[in-house]
Amino acid sequence: MTARARIRDAAIRLFADKGIGPATIRDIAQAAAVSSGLLRHHFGSKDGLRDACDEFALARMTIIRTQMTARGGMADASFVASMHPESVLLQRYLVRSMMDGSAAATVMFERLVEAGEEWLADQPIESRDPRSYATALVALQMGLFLMRDQISRVLDLDLDVPAHNARLLRATVEIFAQPLLDATQADQAYAALDRLATPEES
């Protein structure tokens, strides 16, 4: 591994664990076993390093999603297991970066929404507003990473452990696999929301 790659990977881990602001150049240099001067030589500044991390994480997650789709999605257990540590770390990093206003992380969110729309078009799911449907779905999924600390505390799990993370993911599959509202409840909610969305005539 080159020094540049070691620095980038150390930064991604620390940014994901501590947040973009709290992780210092000195922390990152120590974690990568390099000098602060070498870090600045490769990336110029913390902002330059963060931009490089954003670019790498976004590109790598795109590759992982493409490979997973080509292998049949979640059905390939060996691939999911091999990608789990890296993909979880990168997703945690991108959520942190997104909450801190990263342009690259925002692009990732938009791409995920677009991918969600494409997926929805091939599913037997009715939606009057596919864009909003896909946006809400992506936001709900990313919320699992945003609330990582709270989830770990409530469930007493270390989500870096694949078996522990699988427990949480199984719960999400159960949520998606069965409706939470019956037809009557859904119709009542739609009607109420439609009234809110349509201004009353004066």
pLDDT, tens digit (0-9, with 9 covering 90-100), for 82-135: 556 788 888 888 888 887 877 777 887 888 888 888 888 888 888 999 999 999
Q: Is 198 helix (H, G, I), strand (E, B) or coil?
A: coil
Reported as a pLDDT band with limits 50, 70 and 90, residue 33 is: very high
Q: Which residues contact 197 (CB under 8 A, 6 or more apart)?
A: none
**Who wins on pLDDT, 184 or 160?**
184
Domains and CATH numbers, the chain: 3-146 (1.10.357.10)
DSSP 75: G
Per-residue model confidence as pLDDT tens digits over 68-97: 666 555 555 554 555 567 888 888 888 888
Q: The pTM is what?
A: 0.67
With vertex at residue 179, the alpha carbon angle to CA 176 and CA 69, rounded to the nearest 5 degrees, is 25
H or E stretch covering 146: helix 130-146
Q: How many CB atoms lie within 10 A of CB 124?
A: 4
